[in-house]
């Protein structure tokens, strides 16, 4: 089966049996080419290439964990995009004592902040992103990212309200 046919087949196959190490690698690459995040569980030295090729690899020996390898590039990319998004957007929370939705930021601040967040999210898909060692994250990452950003911003708002409430009670408001 050629690589194109394998990429089609991996979408419908639930199990590949009696495959040699190079065939295992081909299946992993076919799944990744279709946009899947691939985990691989191996139990021997012949699984080393597949453990390395997978996004997350786990090698066991007699049911004891030997190696856990997560895809460092994907982690680095996710960390960069998430931290850039939250750090840029937290500006809108801490710039005012009140509700950030009632206190309108200057349009230039809004435009530049959103531009930075969008550039950070798109960067992994560009040659410049590749230069920095980023890899395009799966689409699901961006849904998770949106949830993480909302939770982070809500937590910052709660902490800000608590801070100002505490300073008001202690008489330290300036």
**pLDDT, tens only, 75-119:** 889 989 999 999 999 999 999 888 888 888 899 999 999 999 999
Beta strands in 2-108 (DSSP E): 39-42, 56-61, 64-70
The pLDDT mean for the chain works out to 85
Torsions phi, psi for 65 (to 5 deg): -65, 125
* Residue among 42, 21, 23, 19 nearest 31 (CA): 23
Query: Helices H, strands E: what count in the chain?
Result: 8, 3
Q: In what order do the strands lie in the sheet with 64-70?
A: 39-42, 56-61, 64-70
113 with 91: CB under 8 angstroms?
yes
Integer Cα distance of 168 and 174 in angstroms: 9
Give the model's pLDDT for residue 34. 93
6 with 27: CB under 8 angstroms?
yes
CA angle centred on 51, ends 141 and 136, rounded to 5°:
25
CATH 3.40.50.1000 correct for 3-70: yes
Return the percentage of the chain with pLDDT > 90, whole number. Answer: 47
Give the model's pLDDT for residue 63. 41
Asked whether the whole model's pTM tops 0.75, one would answer no
Residue 173 confidence class, pLDDT cut points 50, 70, 90 = low
**Whole-number Cα distances in Å, 109 to 57, 115, 116, 156, 167:** 43, 10, 11, 19, 28
106 burial (CB, 10 Å; 0-12 / 13-18 / 19+) is exposed
For residue 58, list its beta bridge partners. Answer: 41, 68
- The domain limits of the chain are 3-70, 72-169
């Amino acid at each position: 089966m050629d690589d194109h046919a394998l990429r089609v087949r991996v979408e419908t196959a639930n199990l590949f049996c009696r495959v040699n190490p190079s065939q295992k690698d081909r299946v992993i690459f076919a799944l990744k080419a279709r946009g899947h995040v691939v985990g691989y569980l191996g139990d021997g030295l012949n699984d080393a290439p597949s453990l390395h090729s997978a996004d997350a690899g786990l090698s066991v020996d007699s049911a004891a964990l030997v190696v856990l390898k997560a895809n460092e590039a994907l982690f680095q990319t996710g960390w960069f995009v998430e931290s850039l998004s939250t750090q840029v957007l937290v500006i809108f929370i801490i710039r005012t004592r009140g509700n950030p939705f009632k206190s309108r930021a200057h349009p230039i601040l809004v435009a530049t902040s959103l531009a930075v967040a969008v550039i950070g999210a798109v960067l992994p898909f560009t040659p410049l992103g590749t230069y920095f060692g980023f890899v395009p994250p799966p689409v699901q990452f961006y849904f998770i990212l949106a949830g993480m950003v909302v939770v982070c911003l809500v937590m910052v708002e709660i902490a800000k309200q608590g801070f100002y409430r505490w300073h008001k009670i202690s008489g330290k408001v300036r």
